[in-house]
Structure 1
């Protein structure tokens, strides 16, 4: 409350420079909510590393369909930090769902594996064997 009052002028409005600063940083406030991911590719596979600190593996849902890897994470970490008078000093942890999709073609879907250790989810997506005919079709 004190900080809020310090940022107001006599008319009960935010200082114009404070408003400008808030508007400037607004597009970046949700940037830390994305699933941070590294993807590497070799001739035989894709390997995906996703940061999921503090997430139990049962809260992670993976699917591969139509050349698309989908990762959905449900975070249940909200803790009420209020005291007996319901005063909260600070509360930055939130509950919610994060989801990302990655186009990774030519994957052998039945051979995909995933492990989670030390806050990192590692997904290995083996590629399908290359076709011998180079996509050419013979006309009889």
Structure 2
């Protein structure tokens, strides 16, 4: 009976070897790609730091509306098809879009500042009781 329960996936139990295989292949799983983010808060502002290595600032779209900061990143991959001899051993570059939204209330949208340095996007969102602005954010 115990062995029957251990093999049922309906209970969320997996074979130990299956769990080990999932951990082994996890670094290669595209579903794990997210925008790694740190958010800090003071009485005056929120500060958001997002890792976006290798991304040009024109490929990042930021917006703030209805207490929601939206970050959308378009990643372009380099694909070299000029190697006719099939000498490429590995290619891990990907292309696609990553997007995350963060609920950050009471922000003065027209005073939000963003900059990108060394692959880190830093967004400073000043807090305010009177919320105004159109929601578009330029990256310096």
TM-score of the superposed pair, with normalisation by structure 1 = 0.70
Task: Give runs of aligned pairs for residues 84-95 of structure 1, distance below 5 A.
Answer: 84-86=84-86, 88-95=88-95
Structure index of larger Rg = 1
| Cα distance in structure 2, aligned partners of 1:21 and 1:37 | 27
Matched residue, 2:3: none
Matched residue, 1:78: 78
| Cα distance in structure 2, aligned partners of 1:69 and 1:94 | 25
SS of the equivalent of 1:84 reads coil
Matched residue, 1:103: 103
Runs of 4+ residues over 6 Å off in structure 1? none
CA contact (8 A) 1:81 1:88 kept: no
Task: Give runs of aligned pairs for residues 101-140 of structure 1, distance below 5 A.
Answer: 101-129=101-129
Matched residue, 1:43: 43
Deviation for aligned residue 1:81 = 6.0
The answer to whether residue 59 in structure 2 is matched with residue 59 in structure 1 is: yes
| Cα distance in structure 1, aligned partners of 2:20 and 2:82 | 26
Deviation for aligned residue 1:22 = 8.0
SS of the equivalent of 1:58 reads helix
The answer to whether residue 18 in structure 2 is matched with residue 20 in structure 1 is: yes
CA contact (8 A) 2:26 2:32 kept: no
| Cα distance in structure 2, aligned partners of 1:127 and 1:56 | 28
| Length, aligned pairs only | 113
SS of the equivalent of 1:79 reads coil
Deviation for aligned residue 1:89 = 1.6
Query: 1:112-135 deviations in whole A, cap 9, x for unaligned?
Result: 1100111110000000048xxxxx
CA contact (8 A) 1:82 1:89 kept: no
Q: What RMSD over aligned residues (CA atoms) do the two structures have, in Å?
A: 2.6
CA contact (8 A) 1:81 1:91 kept: no
